[in-house]
Structure 1
Amino acid sequence: MKTLPPIALGTWSWGSGFAGGDQVFGNHLDADSLRPVFDLAMQKGLTLWDTAAVYGMGSSETILGTLAKTVSGKTLQLSTKFTPQLASPEADNPVAAMFEQSCQRLGSEIIDLYWIHNPTLLNEWTRHLIPLLQSGRIRRVGVSNHNLAEIKLVDSTLKQAGFALSAVQNHYSLLYRSSEDAGILDYCRENDITFFSYLVLEQGALSGKYNASHPLPEGSSRAASYNSVLPQLEALTDAMRDIGSGKSASVAQVAIAWAIAKGTLPIIGVTKLKHVEDAAAATTLQLSPEEIKTLESLAVQAGVDTRGAWEKPMHS
C-alpha cells in the first residue's frame, strides 16, 4: 500500500454550486486556472488529493479528474467521500452507486482512501464498503466528523470482516481541538489510524493574510463565520508571525507545522501556488515544545469557537 505524504491537499474550494468554492470561499476556479497549482504540488511530492462527491455537487471531483489524467496513477493518490445525505434511496447499494459516480468523475477505477463523510445513519454504510475493500477498488477506509464511540463502532465492524479503519478526518486547528480533548487523537495513535486534520487554517483566518482591517471576502460563508472574530485572533496570529519570522516561515506554515507536530496529517486547501509552497515548506518546519505551548495558550485566550454548523461536539 502506498505511503501517505505528510500533508494532503484539499479541493473543497474547487468547483462551484452547492458546497462549492464560489459559495463557501468566494472563488471561481476551473481546471485551467488550477493546473499550475496541481503541477507544482506533484513536483514537490504532495501527491495525495482530498475531495468529496458533495463539493460543488461533483464539480470538484471533475476538475481533479481532469488534472489527474496527465499523471501516472502510481504517484497520484485520490481521497474522496461518500456523503450520506446524497445517497439515492432507490439504489440497492447507495455506497457503491456514489462510489462509481466519483470514480467516473475522477477517471480512476481505484480510490486510495474512501470516507464515510458523516455519521448520518451511523454504521449503516460500513457493510457496503466491505465488497469494495475485498475487490481492491478501495485501498483504505476512513470516517469523517465521527466522535470516538462512532469511530470505534465502524472500526469494530470492519475488523469483523477482516479489515480495519485506516483514517479519521475531523476539524482540528489551534482554535478547535475537540478531537484531542475527546481522546480521538490518542485512540488513533494507539490503533495505527491516521488522523487527518481539516480547517487547520480555519479557511484563512489563521493564514496571517486577514485581520480586522483586511477581512475575508464579503459574500462568502467563510466571511460570515470569521470576520467578526478576527480582532480576537490578532494576539495569536502576531505570535505565529513572530515565531515564523525567526525560521523564515509564514504564519500559515506555522499553523500547518503545529498540526503536524501534534501527530496529525493536515489537509490544506490549495488554490494558489503560494498555498502549495506553504504546505511543502511546513513539512520541514520544527516548532519547539515551548512555542507549541505558547500558541495553544494564546488560542485558548482568544476565546473563539469555530465549530462548524455541520459539526456536533466530539465528546461522546
Structure 2
Amino acid sequence: MMTTMQTELKMPKIAMGAWAWGDATDGNGYFGNDYTEADFKPVFEKALQEGLNLWDTAAVYGMGASEKILGDLARGTERRELLLATKFTPQIADGTAEAATHMFTASMERLGTDYADIYWIHNPADVQRWTPQLVPLAKSGQVKYIGVSNHNLAEIKQAQSILEAAGLKLAAVQNHLSLLNRSSENAGIIDYCRENDITFFSYMVLEQGALSGKYDAAHPFPAGSARAQSYNGQLAELGDLIAEMRTVATAHGATVAQIATAWAISKGTVPIVGVTKVKHVEDAANAANIELTAAEVTTLETLAAKTGVATIREWEKDMQ
C-alpha cells in the first residue's frame, strides 16, 4: 500500500464517491435520482464527522455538476481537512495539446480549490498520449498524487514507466472491484499494486446497490435508469449470495451493504462508496471496523461465482 499517501494525507479506509451527485433532475438519469445540493449537505457533514474526508468525483459526472456541488459544500471546510480527487476523462478532452490542463483548471474552479490531492486519468484511451499531460500538473504541485482508472496491468505498467521517466511515481489505481467482478484481482493487479507501493481503490463494491440488500427481483431499481437496465434482469440470480451476506451481516451486527464493503477492505483495497444519504455514510463508517474471517470471505466468493452474473459495464473491460 502507498505508505506516503496514508501517512501524509491520513487517508481513511474508505473514500466517499460523488458519482451520483448532479444526476438528471427528471428521475431518469444514470442513477434515477433527483437529489439536489441541499440533500447532500447532511451527507457531506456526516462524512466529515466520521472522519471520511476523501471525496472522489470527475469532470464527466453530471458534466461538472458533481464537482460543483462538492465544491459548494466544501467551501465552509478548511482545505487541509479534505482530500479531493477528480479525473481527466479523455473522451471529453478539447482536442488541444493541453487538454488535461484545461480540464483540470475547470475542475479546480468548480471544486473551489487550486490543487487536487489525487488526479486520475479516467480510462486508458491512449496511455502514451495522455499520461505525460499530467506531468507538469504534478511538478507544479497542483496535483499531489497521480492515479489511473480502468487500466489493465500492461497499461498500468506503461503509465508507471512514463511517470518514472519524468521523475514521478504512479501513486494509485482505481478499478471496478466487487464480489461479482474480481477481474482486477484475478489479473494480478491488486498484487502488483501491493508490491509496488501503489494504492488500489475499488469502485462499485456495492454494484451500484445490487449488493446492498435493498434491491431484489420483487424490488428492482427505478425503471428507466441505467442501473435498472444493467441489473434488474439479474437480481433473481443474486438470491443465495444476498442471503449469505445477510447471515454474515447478522454475525457482525452489520448490514448487507457493510459486508460488501468490508469484503473489499479485506482484499487490501480502499473502497469508494457512493453516498447520497446519511445512512450510506454510516454504513461506510461501520464497514471500516468489520473484519471478515477467511471462511466468510471464501463462502461469499464461492456463492458470488455461482451466480454467473456479469457486471463489467460498457465503459470498461475484463482485466484478465
TM range, smaller chain: over 0.9
Residue 15 of structure 1: aligned partner: 22
Residue 60 of structure 1: aligned partner: 66
Deviation, 1:69, is 0.2
Q: 1:268 aligns with which of 268, 273, 277?
A: 273
Which residues of 2 match residues 112-151 of structure 1 at below 5 A?
112-151=117-156
Q: Which amino acid aligns with 2:144?
A: R
Count of matched residue pairs? 313
Structure 1 distance, partners of 2:176, 2:156, is 15
Please tell me whether the aligned partners of residues 24 and 32 of structure 2 are also in contact (alpha carbons under 8 angstroms): no
Q: Which amino acid aligns with 2:142?
A: R
Q: Deviations over 1:77-119 (max 9, x none)?
A: 1000000011111x33100000000000000001000000001
Please tell me whether the aligned partners of residues 14 and 21 of structure 1 are also in contact (alpha carbons under 8 angstroms): no
Structure 2 distance, partners of 1:161, 1:22, is 44
Task: State yes or no: 1:25 paired with 2:31.
Answer: yes
Please tell me whether the aligned partners of residues 21 and 28 of structure 1 are also in contact (alpha carbons under 8 angstroms): yes
Residue 180 of structure 2: aligned partner: 175
Structure 1 distance, partners of 2:28, 2:130, is 30
Residue 215 of structure 1: aligned partner: 220
Deviation, 1:30, is 1.8
RMSD: 1.3
Q: Deviations over 1:181-201 (max 9, x none)?
A: 111001000001011101100
In structure 1, list runs of 5 or more residues that go unmatched. none
Deviation, 1:22, is 5.0
Please tell me whether the aligned partners of residues 23 and 31 of structure 2 are also in contact (alpha carbons under 8 angstroms): no
Q: Which amino acid aligns with 1:2?
A: L
Structure 1 distance, partners of 2:233, 2:23, is 25
Structure 2 distance, partners of 1:161, 1:237, is 47
Q: Deviations over 1:278-312 (max 9, x none)?
A: 00000001100000000000000011110001112
Task: State yes or no: 1:40 paired with 2:40.
Answer: no
Please tell me whether the aligned partners of residues 170 and 197 of structure 1 are also in contact (alpha carbons under 8 angstroms): yes
Please tell me whether the aligned partners of residues 15 and 271 of structure 2 are also in contact (alpha carbons under 8 angstroms): yes
Please tell me whether the aligned partners of residues 13 and 22 of structure 1 are also in contact (alpha carbons under 8 angstroms): no
Cα–Cα, structure 1 residues 61 and 22, in superposed 2: closer, same or farther, change >3 Å?
Answer: farther
Q: Which amino acid aligns with 2:21?
A: W
TM-score (norm 1): 0.97
Q: Deviations over 1:185-242 (max 9, x none)?
A: 0100000101110110001000000111111111111011101111100100100000
Q: Which amino acid aligns with 1:117?
A: H
SS class of match (2:42): helix
Cα–Cα, structure 1 residues 21 and 135, in superposed 2: closer, same or farther, change >3 Å?
Answer: farther
Please tell me whether the aligned partners of residues 8 and 268 of structure 1 are also in contact (alpha carbons under 8 angstroms): yes
Q: Which amino acid aligns with 2:169?
A: A
Task: State yes or no: 1:282 paired with 2:287.
Answer: yes
In structure 2, list runs of 5 or more residues that go unmatched. 1-7
Deviation, 1:128, is 1.4
Residue 189 of structure 1: aligned partner: 194
Structure 1 distance, partners of 2:27, 2:224, is 12
Which residues of 2 match residues 82-93 of structure 1 at below 5 A?
82-89=88-95, 91-93=96-98
Residue 301 of structure 1: aligned partner: 306
Structure 1 distance, partners of 2:17, 2:28, is 15
- Runs of 4+ aligned residues of structure 1 deviating over 4 Å after TM superposition are none
Structure 2 distance, partners of 1:221, 1:112, is 30
Q: Which amino acid aligns with 1:155?
A: Q
Residue 97 of structure 1: aligned partner: 102
Residue 232 of structure 1: aligned partner: 237
Deviation, 1:3, is 2.5
Deviation, 1:17, is 4.5
Residue 76 of structure 1: aligned partner: 82
Q: Deviations over 1:34-68 (max 9, x none)?
A: 10000000010000000000001000000000001
